[in-house]
Chains A and B, each alone.
Chain A
Amino acid sequence: MAARKSVKKSKSVKKAAARKPAARTARRPGTTTKPKNSTQVAAAKVSKPAIAVKVADRAAAVESIMGESQSLHEFLSSSGW
């Protein structure tokens, strides 16, 4: 089987290929882009609650705050349940 000859694309061909997707979604003059439904607008606009404090290691922070835990089985066995 003959080796396929590689064809080197010219710079202009590469530029056209790069432009193609953009050209497909380009807006026609006189039209506006509208989201499909109102919830898309909503998701974009409602701000998240501000978190003023960042905890670097959240897992360690939780363990530190809650202290030691034990399995339910261990707890009930030790408490005479």
Chain B
Amino acid sequence: MLSQDERRLLVEQAILLIEALYVHLPLKRAMHAVDPEQRLKLLRHRLETLSEPAFHAELIAIFTSLRDLHTNYVLPEPFRNRTAYLPFRIAEYFHNDERRYVVTEVKPGAEDRAFKTGIELTHWNGVPIDRAVQNNADREAGSNSDARHARGLAAMTIRPLAVSLPPDEEWVVVTFKHGKQRREKRFEWRVFQSKPGGGNDPLAAAGELATVLGLDAKAELERQARKVLFSPESVVIARRARQQIADSSTAATAGEQLDFSKISQMPDVFAFRTVKTPSGQFGYIRIFTFLVLNDVAFVNEFIRIASLLPQKGLILDVRGNGGGNIIAGERLLQILTPHPIEAERFYFLSSPLTLRICNHNAEFGQWKQSIDQSVETGTDFSNGFSLRPPASYNDTGQRYQGPVVLLTDARCYSTTDIFSAGFQDHQIGKILGTSPRTGAGGANVWTHDFLRQSLPESDSPFKTLPAQASFRVAVRRSTRVGPRAGELVEDLGVTADFVHRPTRKDVLNNNVDLINRAAEILAQMPVHSLTGQLSSKQSLRTLTLKTRNITRVDILHNGRPDRSIDVADGVSRVDLPAHNLSEGVLELRGFRDDQLVVSHRIALGSGT
């Protein structure tokens, strides 16, 4: 139980965050007609009249009213590490534009002859299922109707109590079709202690990750809980992969080994396979999360698994991905395009508190001047800058040359929104959505813990919170680049080029119709390829080029133009003076109709 003083402290810290740091406050006031500051002040005024549940419920409701999955009240212990669940999962599909709800997973041991994967639900506690989901959606924080609906559906059976209200009902009675009959079954809500099933704790980002986080923590907690409840194999694989990699670094190997040509070395992050479709054979990579500590390892593993797949087209699936490390998402873009990547710009709210944080922390120094000037300029926001220097988003270059289709849905959030926006803004490929827009989270989120670290001095306005309670707040908003430069991601999301509403086969049979639709789109996209290899002969080095569907290759040495040659499909050879090629990078740029369509880099040095 929290004391009155502890509750007061929580509310006062919330007021501080919302008034002086929350970067979307002007937008949310306009778009959703909300007044969180006044609600918080009323809560502070009425503290003594509220029970503890009513206090938590009101604080959660105030944050939910912002319709921002970044900005949360994290409940104290014992709620912080608990998840309430029902022993099954439901998904929706469309039949003649009508939403239907089907059980897609049942917790092992909870299934019976009638209640099993594939049954259709008709009612939830006597309420028609579609209305019950919509009622749930109205209590969720998604920033557009599709996002709220998706969040409402997920919350029907899983509630991370760190950031959600517990269910009102202690059990539910579901009505479902069983052959031509309707049956009912009662399920009790149960609670277990959440443990990351091989992933990172989304509520406790530390170190460098804490400054570059773009994550819907609730979605990540739900994803991790689903793994524990429904997929013990995934948890076992994640553990064994970690062990196997640790053993390989110490030369210790024992027992059956995972085959990393079929399983990612980061199985909690990636899954991949070749899909055979009526339109041909393509690669498929699922990115479950961007929540990784090391963006370099993340990008390298993507390159490794992409190289194991067909090179004539890739289906990249980020549905359900709640985001994570923004740098990982933005650095991945370069792997898929020959064009240089321009990272999104991030902006602070202009306030005395953001200025103090920027003054105190060198890494935010470039934002300082514009915030300081806002006293005179009257602007609400700082100038915008990328989170890292521009070169760091282009340090590797294109490594997958085939066309790419990106699969999105309304649960894509934050880093995944930013990645999808970058994918579209750099015209990397087409986006096929199972909903018209992504979840629309465009910001960098900081935890209250990180804020305390950012201003550690004794007169810091950030105080230690009771019982591991916390807050998360969007502190830097992002804007898009390229043809949509300046457009917000928050509340708008990324609009898909094509929409495919999920079918029953999709939700019960590995997204078969969705993948076939993606393959149809891929089959219509051109495939270009360009590779080069250097060999030495006396004072010359011969560059052997293999090209397909390009007409010209420009050769650059350490960024400087060397020569341009016309090519036809097949093999071409170019002699280059060896003394020029001792170190650096040789970059090959392939053109078709004077358009850059593919690139390839060769690292120079010993052995090349």
Contacts and interface: CB of A to CB of B under 8 A. Distances in A.
Interface of A: 38-39, 41-43, 45-55, 58-59, 61-63, 65-76, 78-81
Given A46-B275, A47-B276, A72-B191, A53 B233 contact: yes
B107 A43 contact: no
A72 to B, nearest CB: 4
B515 A46 contact: yes
Contact of A79 (B79, B228, B274, B516): B79
Contact of A62 (B84, B232, B271): B232
B263 interface: yes
B511 to A, nearest CB: 8
Contacts of B259: 52
Contacts of A74: 191
B174 interface: no
Given A52-B263, A62-B232, A71 B188 contact: yes
Nearest to A42: B516
30 contacts: A39-B505, A39-B516, A42-B277, A42-B278, A42-B516, A46-B510, A46-B512, A46-B516, A47-B275, A49-B510, A50-B262, A52-B237, A52-B263, A53-B237, A54-B233, A55-B232, A55-B236, A62-B107, A62-B109, A62-B228, A62-B232, A65-B235, A69-B190, A69-B191, A70-B190, A72-B166, A72-B170, A72-B188, A75-B82, A81-B53
A73 B168 CA distance: 10
A49 B1 CA distance: 47
Interface of B: 1, 52-53, 78-79, 82, 84, 107-109, 166-167, 170, 188-193, 195, 197, 228-230, 232-233, 235-237, 240, 258-259, 262-263, 271, 273-278, 505, 509-510, 512-513, 515-516
Contacts of A55: 232-233, 236
Contacts of A47: 273-276
Given A55-B232, A55-B236, A72-B166, A45 B274 contact: no
Contacts of A65: 197, 228, 232, 235
Contacts of A81: 52-53, 166
Contacts of B230: 62
A52 B236 CA distance: 10
A41 B263 contact: no
Given A39-B512, A72-B190, 11 more contacts: A42-B513, A46-B275, A46-B512, A47-B275, A53-B233, A53-B258, A58-B109, A66-B195, A71-B188, A79-B78, A81-B166
Contacts of B228: 62, 65-66
Given A46-B516, A67-B192, A53 B509 contact: no
Contacts of A78: 78
Q: Which one of A47, A73, A78 has the greatest number of beta carbons of chain B within 10 Å?
A: A47
Given A41-B278, A72-B84, A76-B166, A66 B262 contact: no
B262 A52 contact: yes
A76 B526 CA distance: 58
A80 to B, nearest CB: 5
A35 B271 CA distance: 31
Contacts of B236: 53, 55, 61
Contacts of A49: 271, 273, 510
Nearest to A45: B276
The 10 closest A-B pairs by CB, nearest first: A59-B109, A58-B108, A61-B232, A72-B189, A69-B192, A59-B108, A75-B191, A42-B516, A46-B512, A69-B190
A46 B52 contact: no
A39 B517 CA distance: 10
B193 A67 contact: yes
Contacts of A39: 505, 512-513, 516
B506 to A, nearest CB: 10
Given A48-B510, A65-B232, A72 B277 contact: no
A66 to B, nearest CB: 5
Nearest to A64: B232
B191 A70 contact: yes
A81 to B, nearest CB: 5
B167 A43 contact: no
Nearest to B84: A72
A66 B276 CA distance: 36
Contact of A43 (B82, B232, B274, B509): B509
Contacts of A45: 276-278
Nearest to A59: B109
A71 B192 contact: no
Given A55-B233, A62-B108, A62-B109, A46 B276 contact: yes
A8 B189 CA distance: 63
A49 B552 CA distance: 39
A78 to B, nearest CB: 8
Contacts of B513: 39, 42
Contacts of B108: 58-59, 61-62
A74 to B, nearest CB: 8
Given A53-B237, A72-B167, A72-B188, A66 B277 contact: no
B232 to A, nearest CB: 4
A49 to B, nearest CB: 6
Contacts of A41: 278
B237 to A, nearest CB: 5
